[in-house]
Amino acid sequence: MKSAHSLHRSIIKSLTSAKLGLALMICLGVLGSSGLTAPPAQTKPDKVTLIVKMAKGLTLAQAQAVVRGHGATLKASIPKLDLHVVEVPAQASDAITKTMKGDAQILRVESDHIRKWQGTPSDPRYPDQWALPKISWDQVYGVANPRFDTKVAILDTGVDATHPDLTSVVVPGWSVFDGSDPFTDENGHGTWVAGIVAARTDNLQGIAGVGYDHVQIMPVKVLNPTGLGQDSDIIQGVMWAADNGASVILMAFSATGFSDALQDAIDYAWVHNVVLVAAAGNEAGNTATFPAGDRGVIGVSATDQNDNIDPSSTIGASVFLAAPGVNILGTYTNGGYVAWSGTSASAAIVAGSAALMRAVDPSLSNGVIVNRIAESAAAAGTQEQTGNGRVNVARAIDDTSTNEIQPAGTAPFGNGGPFVGPYKIAATNKTMTFTMAGTGGGTVTFARIGTGDNPDTATFGCTAPGSTSFTTCGGSGTFKFKNNDTYRITATPNSGSTFEGWSAESGSLTLANCGGTTNPCPSASGSIALSADSAITATFSLPKLSFTTAVFSITAGQCSPGITVQSQTSTGGVLAVTSNLTVNLTTSSSGTFYSDNACTTSVSSTTISTGNSTSGDFYYKDGTSDGPVLTAAAVAPLI
């Protein structure tokens, strides 16, 4: 059930065996910190190991004296290779390395890298964590090198810091409630999402966390054991986390109703370079929820093993991204483990992914992280259901884009997005070769249908600005298109010209899909998938006049049979004119044209009337015995 108070943000979770909704309620709490001692934070090693290669000719004693002279402590030597393993203070390692490299007696200095077997972590419950390989976590584990401590503030019901899969990753936290310890969790929800984010990994115990190394859990208790927190509590938690070094803030709760005050706190955290992640909710509708729908927050919906939206997941403008959220295994109180479903798990997976990115490269701004996660996401569901798509942590870490975006949120500030995903494999450029033929002219438009990449790199008679989904060719030329994009091809003749048809098809264009006089091709509503370099010729022709009367012989001074002139296409087809067309008549001899069969009324022209293709009869009489040539010429273009 949901709280009746619009300012309450609720956790909704469901058991694996049956989706039993559990609304966790909270009374008004008194603001204040717990005053309890937090578990110690993880510390970085104070020593760094280096491998030093010495110049030839030095004795072992001389070589050892050289490295000691640079402030290094000798740990081991490999005389046959002139190698020496030394330790130096971590804070001074860069300076010592630099001075060593400037010493003529030292040929090379390099870090003593840790090599880790790349494979499945040793956590016994890892086979039950289907979501990790789904987001390509298995392609990151053992490959990426997270080396920098990154804090994820878990704004929730607290975290059981005694859990053996969490003990070494929990750092000092805070509670909004007097006398309440952020390192205890009477409910279990906070502990569950904490394990999803950063459970200890490859420790022969329990599960693996998304943030498998150098990702730390900062418990910020803003929900009491029954699970609802007021906006005033959540605001205090966001502010405390932002002021105390949180790199990521996870808010695995939601409710309808926008709060200006909560937005102010989120804006404050965003300005302080925090990545904010929230669950979209489990209301099975598209009503906006908050904080998922707030500006600057990655709102997360839930998907299943087949990348389908979970039926219980909230969708709509509050959703910026999706992640697995069905039967997700996490840590639980008293050293246990539990699998629940819901967008809380999905948000935890995204928060862990963002934290892992920061642990690899702490210089990344929150805007860059959000952009990389969004543009690298896998296609899943519709945009309304999953926003930019389903998170893919491997591609997000490999992404090198420096573009920055901020989630726009839903009303009153935005309408979702920005949408820069899902990720699409870079398509291969292919070439379309177009040839213009015939005596006439026109244009041919190649219009991309549906999603894809805009055509570009046009040459000669083709134009493709790259900012539109179509190319126009007014003459022979070429342009580039992406492999497997679909196109519709339309020929448009110039005034006075006729489209005679297609020819010389090759590649993906054939007689079957773009042959003869089919226009557009393949049809007015269809499209052709272009998967190979292709070519086509379009023929445009000017119309012509033709005598339809057979050749005849007459005696000098005799009136001829009736003669007619017809308007035709270049290939001899009948062509009706669109307005009255005057046709001038001339002869190579001294004869005369007449309008009557008695040859009494002379004329110098005839007319083809609007909508017709043939003139009325006219006649010819010549007093000279020879072979005259009669000519008909249109006064205006034949249209």
Phi, psi of 535 (to 5 degrees): -150, 155
Give me the CATH code for the 429-541 domain, please.
2.60.40
470-482 and 456-463: which strand pairing?
antiparallel
Q: Is the dihedral angle over the CA atoms 316, 318, 323, 325 positive or is it negative? A: negative
pLDDT of residue 114: 54
Give the CA distances from residue 595 to residues 74, 192, 195, 561, 602, in Å, rounded to whole numbers and listed in that order.
Answer: 120, 102, 102, 11, 6
Handedness of CA 310, 312, 317, 320 (dihedral sign): negative
Can you tell me which residue has the tokens 């909270």? 26
**CA separation for the pair 209, 211 (Å, rounded):** 5
Helix (H, G, I), strand (E, B) or coil at 202: coil
**Calpha distance 8→229 (Å, rounded):** 6
Residue type, 112: D
- Give the Cα separation of 439 and 436 in Å (integer): 10
Question: What CA–CA distance (Å, rounded) separates 40 from 88?
Answer: 25
Beta bridge partners of 332: 336
- Residue 3 confidence (pLDDT): 31
C-alpha dihedral sign at 358, 360, 362, 368: negative
| pLDDT at 1 (0 to 100) | 28
Q: Which residues pair with 582 in a beta bridge?
A: 607
Per-residue model confidence (pLDDT) at position 636: 62
Query: H/E element holding 343?
Result: helix 343-360
Cβ pair 302, 313 in contact under 8 A? yes
Q: What's the chain's Rg over C-alpha atoms?
A: 39
CB 464 within 8 A of CB 509: no
560-611: per-residue pLDDT in tens?
899 999 887 766 778 787 788 888 999 988 899 999 999 999 999 999 888 8
- Token pair of 363 as six digits: 């210089």
- As to burial, measured by CB atoms within 10 angstroms (0-12 exposed, 13-18 middle, 19+ buried), residue 139 is middle
Cα separation, 509 vs 81, whole angstroms: 64
Q: Round to whole Å and give the CA distance between 170 and 151.
A: 9
The pair of structure tokens assigned to 498 is: 């006729």
CATH code of domain 544-634: 2.60.40
Answer yes or no: same fold for 429-541 and 544-634.
yes
Adjacent-strand bridge partners of 51 = 85, 110
Instruction: Report the C-alpha gap between 66 and 175 in whole angstroms.
Output: 54
Residues near 47 by Cβ (< 8 Å), separated by ≥ 6?
87, 88, 89, 90
Q: What's the burial of 18, exposed, middle or buried (CB within 10 Å: 0-12/13-18/19+)?
A: exposed
The full set of domain ranges for the chain reads 119-398, 429-541, 544-634
Question: CB–CB of 223/26 below 8 Å?
Answer: yes
Could you say which residues of the chain have pLDDT below 70?
1-45, 113-119, 424-428, 570-571, 635-639
For residue 213 the two structure tokens come to 């190394």
How many helices and strands (H and E) does the chain possess?
Answer: 11, 33
What separation in angstroms does the CA of 497 have from each of 73, 181, 225, 500, 575? 89, 85, 81, 9, 11
Query: Rounded to an integer, what distance in angstroms lies between the CA atom of residue 618 and that of residue 603?
Result: 9
C-alpha–C-alpha distance, residues 329 and 311, integer Å: 19
Q: How many CB atoms lie within 10 A of CB 294?
A: 27
What pLDDT shows up at residue 241?
97
**Which one, of 139, 181, 149, 152, lies nearest residue 37 by Cα?**
181
- Residue range 119-398 in CATH 2.130.10.10: no
β-pair partners for 488: 447
CA dist., res. 224 & res. 186, Å (int):
8
The residues that are catalytic are: 156, 189, 344
Tell me which DSSP letter residue 117 carries. -
DSSP 410: S
